Amino acid sequence: MSNLKEIRNRIASVSSTMQITSAMKMVSAAKLKKATDAILQMRPYSNKLTELIKNLNNSFEKMEDNPYAVIRSTNKTLIIAITSNRGLCGAFNSSIIKVVKEIQNDKNENDVSIMSIGKKGTDILSKGNNLNSSHDAIYDNLTHNTVSKIADSIMLDFENGKFDKVKIIYNRFKNAATQIVTIESFLPIVSNENQEEETAIIDYIFEPSKDEIMKNLLPKALRIQLLKALKDSLASEHGARMTAMHKATDNAKELRDQLKLSYNKARQASITNEILEIVGGAEALKN
């Protein structure tokens, strides 16, 4: 009977876990729809703006004319590692941390600092790593204004020479089951070298002036780029959690079915033993 009681307790425990994972899956599915709509609407604008900036960068006669396109010989790199504030989303966070550590161990990267966005990344990267800063609370209010403050501080550090390169590492959303770890150059702005030679330089007409437009457009483009990466990561997080909770629910259901089968077999064996004892006792009374 003790064995049957133990199996019943395990069945109840697994069933409770299955209810929790199923509920978390539905919550993530609801959040995923909103996050997916946001990033899919933003991507075309962000991509076109980035393309425009790279094309405009080709029009500068000297690289020094654009403070965000200066390529320095030194090698002080800032990595913006974007993770989540919560777990239970499979390899979503560990894949980002793995890439960050690979860059830190790269012999070509001499001085690497880390800016962490997300509690899960901060908790791990703060141990024995050169953590420059963290912005974990940004997910509580992910707006253009809050992201702009972070982007502006990064641009200021780059202008002042605190960092020579800035890279963003995040999960790019493809679909609910697939998130692609992406390393994206943030600063310096690199010219669009992939275009064909005849279309590489586009003759723009500037009004009021090239310097005035670039002064306002460049910071805006960089802010949008960081905001897009964060929204991409947020959509990927919900997709990864929904997939992880779906798998966890299926595994819990399979385990519960196996436990029920074991319970029925043990119960049947117990009933058979009781019948045999009764029959044996009746035969003993006859004799």
Task: Kindly list the catalytic residues.
Answer: 89
In the Cβ-directed half-sphere of 286, how many Cα atoms lie within 13 Å?
6
What are the DSSP calls for 163-197, one per residue?
-SEEEEEEEEEEETTEEEEEEEEEESPPP-TTS-H
Q: Which amino acid is at 98?
A: K
Is residue 103 within 8 A of residue 109, CB to CB? The reply is yes
CA–CA dist 128, 114 (Å, integer): 12
Give the 3-state secondary structure of residue 62.
coil
Is residue 229 within 8 A of residue 179, CB to CB? The reply is no
CA–CA dist 170, 126 (Å, integer): 18
Who's near 183: CB < 8 A, 6+ residues apart? 99, 167, 168, 169
CA–CA dist 229, 279 (Å, integer): 74
